[in-house]
């Protein structure tokens, strides 16, 4: 190879090396200008939502309101039951008092009926009319109290209404029936004040 060619070849090599060195320096300068990448941050833990104090107070107040309402409803129900129970007791006591008074006065009614029977033979019309008037008033008072006589002659004997104190004969009527009422009984509504004293035909 001639000297000129060798010199030209060396010159080309130097130019290529210089170009490569310049490209490398430029690349380094560009790398320096870029901001370094930040490492990826770990996701922050989710924080529990903060409880609003006003909301907490409102919840507590609502709970107290529900508690007091339930308590008031229980008290109201208890009072209503107490009122109904008292009304029932008062009504029962009133009915018992009426029955007691009516039962106590039955002998008076019996004696008035006997007095009317005795006065029927008396020539004293004023006496007879007076006794009959008193008996009528007594009977009307018992009617207002819903007191009715138990007088079931000829009917089947009922131990719930009558006391059999005598036994009749077969000629007195059908077996098991009341053939004679010795003393009338009375009842008020479905309650017996006094059982009738009767004579019963044996079965």
Characterize 22-60 residue by residue with b for buried, 16 or more Cβ atoms within 10 angstroms of its Cβ, and e for exposed.
eeeeeeeeeeeeeeeeeeeeeeeeeeeeeeeeeeeeeee
pLDDT score for 14: 65
CB-based contact 166:199 (threshold 8 Å): yes
Q: What is the pLDDT of residue 170?
A: 83
Sheet holding 191-194, edge to edge: 147-150, 185-188, 191-194
> Can you give the pLDDT at residue 168?
87
Cα distances (angstroms) measured from residue 54 to each of 51, 57, 131: 9, 5, 88
Longest CA span, the chain: 197
According to the model, what pLDDT value does residue 105 have? 93
The CATH number fitting domain 148-203, selected from 3.40.50.170, 2.30.22.10, 1.10.10.60, 1.10.357.10: 2.30.22.10
C-alpha closest to that of 106 among 130, 133, 152, 141: 141
| 56: its two tokens | 């907490």
The domain segmentation of the chain, as residue ranges, is 148-203
For residue 193, the model assigns a pLDDT of 94
Q: What are phi and psi of 108, to 5 degrees?
A: -65, -40
In a structure prediction context, what are the per-residue pLDDT tens digits for the chain, which is 203 residues long?
555 666 666 666 666 667 667 766 776 666 555 555 555 555 555 565 666 888 888 888 999 999 999 999 999 999 999 999 999 999 889 888 999 999 999 999 999 999 998 888 888 889 889 999 999 999 999 999 999 999 889 899 999 999 999 998 888 888 999 999 999 999 998 899 999 999 999 88
């Amino acid at each position: 190879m001639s000297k000129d060619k060798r010199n030209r070849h060396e010159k080309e090599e130097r130019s290529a090396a210089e170009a490569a060195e310049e490209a490398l320096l430029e690349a380094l300068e560009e790398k320096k200008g870029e901001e370094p990448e930040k490492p990826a941050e770990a996701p922050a833990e989710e924080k529990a939502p903060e409880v609003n104090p006003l909301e907490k107070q409102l919840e507590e107040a609502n709970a107290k309101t529900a508690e007091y309402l339930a308590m008031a409803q229980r008290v109201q129900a208890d009072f209503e039951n107490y009122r109904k129970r008292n009304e029932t007791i008062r009504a029962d006591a009133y009915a018992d008092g009426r029955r007691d008074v009516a039962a106590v006065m039955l002998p008076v009614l019996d004696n008035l009926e006997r007095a009317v029977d005795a006065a029927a033979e008396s020539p004293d019309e004023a006496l007879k009319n007076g006794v009959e008037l008193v008996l009528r008033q007594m009977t009307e008072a018992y009617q207002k109290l819903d007191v009715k006589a138990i007088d079931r002659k000829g009917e089947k004997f009922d131990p719930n209404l009558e006391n059999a104190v005598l036994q009749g004969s077969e000629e007195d009527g059908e077996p098991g029936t009341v053939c004679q009422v010795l003393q009338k009984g009375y009842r008020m509504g479905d309650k017996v004040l006094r059982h009738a004293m009767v004579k019963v035909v044996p079965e």
